[in-house]
Structure 1
Amino acid sequence: MPSNRFLKLIDHPQLTRAHSSILFQLRTGHIPLNKHLHRIGKVESPRCPSCRHASEDVRHYLLECRAHRHERWIMQHQWRRKAQDLGFLLSSPKALIAVLRYVQATGRFKNYGELNLRPEE
């Protein structure tokens, strides 16, 4: 079960179940990125399908992939140095919306359905 800390983190009026699922998977590394899919035998290579330069894991996807530079710029503009801190991005209530907007902008998890954030209540 998710920890109480995680449950408190995702208790946000803009987050849907799909958002919570993606955040949980990003935090655990059990997300359909090629490094994990390769480890469980679902894809032939752990390489990133977008840039082909590195193993596609959570760190690469959120912080390093050259193919998503433009989408990442928004997070970097908002959070400056903290945008390079994976721990901050995945555990700060303040950063969750920026991370989810990045995920939505990259289109990497389209199979989760529509990831638009709800308006503030």
Structure 2
Amino acid sequence: MFWESPRFSRFQKVAKGDATATARKFRKLTKGLRKPHTSILVHLCTGHCYLYSHLNCIGKIDTPLYPACKQEPEMVHHYLIQCPAHCGARARLRAEVGSKNMFPEKLLNDRGRLKALFQYINNTGRFINTFGVLPEMETEEEEEE
């Protein structure tokens, strides 16, 4: 029986609201975003995106290394924070959000940093084949008008 299995206790934690609180935060974060913005945000938050590490895991390519730098597996952290192929775009992102906010968890979870993040994504050109050029995200002031 399911309620006797080890998974039941994990399910209970989710059922008590942990997942609901997370979903509520995500809905608040993405409220009013256009579909491409929300989609790429979900992809980056889950790691299930068109970066070489994930494509290698699902058997679509032979190597997880990003051909532009050939240094490390191209994961979300590498793409956003480390990859030398995107140092110019990253410098602009850092100037916009500040050095203390240059962590994936801060970039992906704060509405105030999303506009700069989406501009970084456009500047790198990394997801153009999948999402095209992301339209500029409206700021809070523009949404209220």
Confirm or deny a common fold (TM above 0.5): yes
* Structure 1 equivalent of residue 52 of structure 2: 34
For the aligned residue pairs, the C-alpha RMSD in angstroms reads 1.7
Distance 1:78 1:107 in 2: 18
2:108 aligns to what SS in structure 1?
helix
* Structure 1 equivalent of residue 134 of structure 2: 115
1:77 aligns to what SS in structure 2?
helix
Distance 2:100 2:60 in 1: 33
* Structure 1 equivalent of residue 85 of structure 2: 67
Q: Which runs of 5+ in 2 are unaligned?
A: 1-18
* Structure 1 equivalent of residue 95 of structure 2: 77
Distance 2:29 2:138 in 1: 18
For 2:133, the aligned partner's letter is E
Contact 2:115 2:137 in 1 (8 A): no
Distance 1:69 1:50 in 2: 12
Contact 1:75 1:83 in 2 (8 A): no
Give the number of the structure whose residues are more often helix, by fraction.
2
Distance 1:90 1:113 in 2: 20
Residues 1-121 of structure 1 aligned to structure 2 (within 5 Å): 3-12=23-32, 15-110=33-128, 111-120=130-139, 121=142
1:91 aligns to what SS in structure 2?
coil
Per the normalisation by structure 1, the TM-score is 0.90
For residues 60-79 of structure 1, the C-alpha deviation after alignment (integer angstroms, 9 at most, x for no partner) is: 00000001000011111122
* Structure 1 equivalent of residue 13 of structure 2: none
1:3 aligns to what SS in structure 2?
helix
Alignment size in residue pairs: 119
Contact 2:53 2:74 in 1 (8 A): yes
Which is bigger in relative contact order (C-alpha 8 A, separation at least 6)?
Answer: 1
Stretches of 4+ aligned residues off by more than 4 angstroms: none
Per the normalisation by structure 2, the TM-score is 0.76
Q: Which runs of 5+ in 1 are unaligned?
A: none
The alpha carbon displacement at 1:51 in A equals: 0.9
